Chain A
Amino acid sequence: MNKLLLGRYIHADSFVHKLDARAKLFLSFYFIVIIFLCNNWQTYTLLGILTLVSVVCSKIKLKFFWDGIRPLVWLIIFTVVLQLFFSSGGHVYWQWGIFRITSLGIENAIYIFCRFVLIVCMSTLLTLTTPPLQIADGMEALMKPLKKVKVPVDEIALMLSIALRFVPTLMDETTKIMNAQRSRGVNFEEGSLWHRAKMLVPLLIPLFVSSFNRAEDLAIAMEARGYRGGSHRTKYRQQVWHRNDTLVMMLFAVVTGLLIYLRK
């Protein structure tokens, strides 16, 4: 339960931990963009080295990255198999009906596999090294330009940070309700998938009701503390851009240049 997407932060004192959340967030997205520039083994090796260096710099055990990949294993296998059997072009090694394995298919399957693993590693790195609140602040900073097109960036950012703040509270509540229902004889672990899905109803309804009550209480408390939305609010938490952040941005720019040079 505690391995939810945003709650995986692992505290350590490393180069990557100290980078500004805005830089890390931006570069994580940027990495996903530049990985599509890769189309041969040299370019994939280059980004592989970049990922490896980032991971080593974070001083986080490799096991945690494996935890990030594990939930996606089936998706990765499915995509790789699809590429392997349905690509055409190049030398045909084996064919049976619509299935065939070709040299191009094998190549594509390997590339797709690398692409998946690298992207998952990089985004896991972001969530492992950045506390959720900083990610929320980083998102707010990156969304700022959207204010020009009337996107309520401040409100979205506040919603995001309130949502993060209530994750542990609702987790506790879920455990409490589960125990309460268990004591009345509900079994959440056994039975068919359909049965287990049905067992979620007595869990979700009380959770929903209490969430609505919490939301109302919170709204009143916020209003009593002078919250009225809008952009005249100031920010208490501040993000500081260091020289290292600029350096890492430059490193990524250099890598991009190399990628363009190395690709076919």
Chain B
Amino acid sequence: MGKIIEVKDLTFHYPDQKEPLFDQLSLSIERGQWVAIIGHNGSGKSTLVRIIDGLLAPQAGTIFVDGMPVTPENIWQIREKIGMVFQNPDNQFVSADVEGDVAFGMENLGLDRDVMKYRVDQALRKVNMEDFKGHDPSRLSGGQKQRVAIAGVLTLRPDVIIFDEATSMLDPEGRQDIIKLMTKLHKKGYTLISITHNIDEAAMADRVCVIDDGKIAADSSPAEIFAQEKELIAMGLDVPYSERLKDELLHNGIEVPHEYLTEKGMVDWLCKLHSKN
């Protein structure tokens, strides 16, 4: 195990804003952990992961990725360890064919063509897109585009994959698809950081960090976080459907379990409730 990402006393200030966004923020992430970062728009979630990847430079504080400090000198090594998947599937495609896009990161590293061919096939297989190798990305669905983007990240063999609201622009089917793929990657041992507004996605994580106004407002397991429904609403998040249902049931005088239930857990519990009566 051990820590893969360590953020210490981070201070970050956008030049056009009066107040610093982050003031002495600290956060560490264990290797192999799946961390969901949630919070309302403008709370600094995306800024935080961009600082970790060295895409933005903080005013103060240090960040270690796999024990290596993020500095302008070793920024390219850091980016080999961290893969990022962004929100808009259209705006991260570089090439007019799927395989060329998957290979883009490897071209940047100057890898041999044989290695690239092997890894492109391997990565496309992992995300179930091997049949779309020669396709034009503009003809793919949103979920398929994000899977190709994930394949592009996998070819670089990173330790950490950051999903920066990667499911927010997808239809429900595509979103479920990507969440499933994330679960698969998590099982394979990748460290995942997913920024999301989608509670179903956050519920799959090992740990949920709630960021509010540049501060970590809560940091705990999904079950504990989602039990505090009122606070979630105050932070402008969607409350999961199963929690809303629980609230309604409580109003109607039905005893409900206190801990968080996923949709499936809720269905199981409801079935049991019904058979008891």
Contacts and interface: CB of A to CB of B under 8 A. Distances in A.
Interface of A: 132-133, 158, 161-162, 164-165, 168-169, 172, 213-214, 217-218, 220-228, 232-238
Interface stretch (B33-41, B106-114, B248-256): B106-114
A213 B137 CA distance: 19
Instruction: Give the 9 A-B residue pairs with the shortest CB-CB distance, closest first.
Output: A217-B91, A236-B103, A221-B92, A168-B138, A165-B96, A226-B108, A225-B105, A224-B84, A214-B91
Dominant secondary structure of chain A at its interface with chain B? helix
Interface residues of B, number: 41
Dominant secondary structure of chain B at its interface with chain A? helix
Given A133-B96, A221-B91, A234-B107, 19 more contacts: A133-B95, A158-B94, A161-B95, A168-B138, A214-B88, A214-B90, A214-B91, A217-B91, A218-B94, A223-B55, A224-B53, A224-B79, A226-B80, A227-B104, A228-B76, A234-B106, A234-B110, A235-B113, A236-B103
B7 interface: no
Given A223-B55, A234-B112, A235-B107, A218 B92 contact: yes
B94 A162 contact: yes
Contacts of B106: 234, 236
B152 A225 contact: yes
Contacts of B80: 226
Nearest to A168: B138
24 contacts: A133-B100, A169-B90, A172-B138, A213-B91, A214-B88, A214-B90, A214-B91, A217-B88, A220-B55, A224-B53, A224-B82, A225-B79, A225-B84, A225-B153, A226-B80, A227-B108, A228-B108, A232-B110, A233-B110, A234-B107, A235-B107, A236-B116, A236-B117, A237-B100
B137 A165 contact: yes
Interface string B106-150: 111111110011001000000000000000111000000000000
B97 A226 contact: no
Nearest to B96: A165
A264 B96 CA distance: 48
Contacts of A158: 94
Residue among A168, A228, A234, A237 with most chain B CB within 10 A: A234
B93 interface: yes
Contact of A133 (B53, B55, B92, B97): B97
Interface in B157-213: none
A64 B172 CA distance: 42
A133 B107 CA distance: 16
B260 interface: no
Nearest to A225: B105
B164 to A, nearest CB: 9
Contacts of A237: 100
A165 B105 CA distance: 17
A233 B107 contact: yes
Contacts of B6: none
B86 interface: yes
Nearest to A233: B107
B4 interface: no
Given A133-B100, A221-B86, A234-B116, A226 B92 contact: no
B96 A132 contact: yes
B119 to A, nearest CB: 10
B153 to A, nearest CB: 8
Contact of B99 (A168, A220, A234, A236): A236
Given A218-B92, A225-B152, A169 B138 contact: yes
A165 B55 contact: no
A251 B153 CA distance: 46
A225 B244 CA distance: 40
B156 interface: yes
B95 A165 contact: yes
A225 B108 contact: yes
A166 to B, nearest CB: 9
Residue among B82, B113, B156 with most chain A CB within 10 A: B113
